[in-house]
Amino acid sequence: MSPILADVLQISALIAALALVHRPLGDYMARVYSSEKHLRVERWIYRCVGANPGAEMRWPAYLRAVLAFSAVGVLFLYAMQRFQDKLPMSLGFKPIDPDQAFNTAASFVANTNWQSYSGESAMGHLTQMSGLAVQNFVSAAVGMAVAIALVRGFARARTGELGNFWADLVRGVVRILLPISVIAAIVLVATGAVQNFAGMHEVHTLSGSTQHIPGGPVASQEVIKELGTNGGGFYNANSSHPFENPGGFSNLLEIFLILVIPFSLPRTFGRLVGSVRQGYAILAAMGAIWLAAVIAVTVSEYAHPGTAAQLAGGAMEGKEQRFGEGSSSLFAVSTTMTSTGAVNSFHDSYTAFGGGVTLLGMMLGEISPGGVGSGLYGMLVMAVVAVFLSGLMVGRTPEYLGKKIGPREIKFAACYILVTPALVLSGTALAMALPDGKEAMTNIGAHGFSEVLYAYTSGSNNNGSAFAGFGADTPFFNTTIGLCMLLGRFLPMVFVLALAGSLAGQAPVPATAGTLRTEKPLFTGMLVGSVLIITGLTFFPALALGPLAEGLS
């Protein structure tokens, strides 16, 4: 079988698996977030945190709960790293430096999982398991809760109430993330992934030297890092490490886990607003961009003109022989089009255009299909903008799902869109203007600029992947990228929840003959066009200095 045919079959199998679970998982999540019953374990958790799950929250209260919970998470994880040497199962590792501890705490709480450290030589088992992995669950659940709050804004009328954050958070963890993670972890262990509490294991390398590799609770953390679109890795080599990703089946399973919830949430959205066709329109826009990116990166990696690449059948630098160009490209697009950031190959070694597409995927806002929760609310904000632009074209007040999109709503949407570009471009400009940025680059010229641009794009969009040659473990980058991760995560949530509150307070507008049919393919095309045009106008100058200049040189 030719490699290209194998890649086509792999993508087809992935799409079939996602299609198979789309409806049951989407419907299940809709029932989870609309249920009025609480499980016994959930009631116990509510008593522990002192929350009343039946109390409805308006958007300011919902936002305060999100920010307070996340702030406690940052402080707890920071303290855990600083006192790591005094904790059990530390493996003798020293405490994490203050700037790196801040960066890591911000990273995992913000669902970014940017890592400026080598996992197997810096973090003990308890820190990995009780600190990092716990945040993988709860940060994903926070994103899902905010997305559901926005959906309720569309579904409800004449009320400012958006549900209860604590109930949404706990249900997301207990009823969705934990059950899937347990099953998937067992499957991953069966494929050969490591799951134990072992210390350092001495192995002999091909060069005749020895290397010490720790065991640990790897499979359980690997599953939630993909399922929650968190990223990061137990080992520095991430999902290219055979202990995390043993082979072809595990690789496809991990890609499936990355995409399964983001691609199922549009069904949940459709069920909660009472029109599954609206969910299909959002899903079609997400899927079209994702598939186009997969094709673009795969073609770029196969068609590299270099002699070595032609002899190898494609650009194999930075890729695992176990996976090749096709599986590597599929993983790269899936991880950058979501907010995952896990990698099974190193994007720094991709061709200029291949790496540029992964960069563009993050610049789109990671909405195709996006992170767990964040992808849905990001695409819905873009849908609001697309409806507004459509209304301007025909000269009538724009409406979406029976809600008028007026000046107040479009201001919230505009602020949401502008936050991330402001962080990315200002952070990149600051780094390039100071010696710290230039010293961190391992390449000169356009590719070196791409390394810096990629770092701030990844941090501000809460992705967490990196061009591997970039030296980010400095106080300057730990601090600035850490701030970008926090602001890039929580400032957009402010505008999303404000938009949700504004929509929930409106009276429904009846559909007329002149109402834009937002469940039709025409609107899906307009939505995709709006995403690409807005991103192009914002980031094209920066892309022209980086991957485009490199590719055309």
Q: What is the pLDDT of residues 463-514, one digit of tens each?
A: 999 887 777 888 999 999 999 999 999 999 999 999 999 999 999 888 887 7
pTM beyond 0.85: yes
CB–CB of 321/516 below 8 Å? no
Using CA atoms, how far apart are residues 489 and 373, in angstroms rounded to an integer?
12
Mean pLDDT of 536-548: 89
Query: What integer pLDDT is reported at residue 1 of this predicted model?
Result: 67
Task: Write the secondary structure of 1-31 as one string of H (helix), E (strand) and C (coil).
Answer: CCHHHHHHHHHHHHHHHHHHHHHHHHHHHHH
Helices (H), 35-113: 40-49, 59-82, 98-109
Query: What integer pLDDT is reported at residue 310 of this predicted model?
Result: 58
Task: Identify the three-state secondary structure at position 98.
Answer: helix
Q: What is the pLDDT of residues 43-79, one digit of tens each?
A: 999 999 999 999 999 999 999 999 999 999 999 999 9
Cis ω before 262 (30° cut-off from 0):
no
Tokens found for residue 295: 């094709």
- The pLDDT-based confidence of 309 (bands split at 50, 70, 90) is low
Using CA atoms, how far apart are residues 197 and 125, in angstroms rounded to an integer?
7
Q: What is the pLDDT of residues 219-250, one digit of tens each?
A: 999 999 999 999 888 888 899 999 999 999 99
Q: What is the pLDDT of residues 431-456, one digit of tens each?
A: 989 887 777 777 778 888 898 999 99
Environment class of 295 (CB within 10 Å of its CB; exposed 0-12, middle 13-18, buried 19+): middle
Q: What is the pLDDT of residues 370-414, one digit of tens each?
A: 999 999 999 999 999 999 998 888 777 789 999 999 999 999 999
Using CA atoms, how far apart are residues 51 and 300, in angstroms rounded to an integer?
52
Q: Between residues 125 and 25, which one has the greater pLDDT?
A: 25
For residue 471, which of 452, 445, 487 has the smallest C-alpha distance?
452
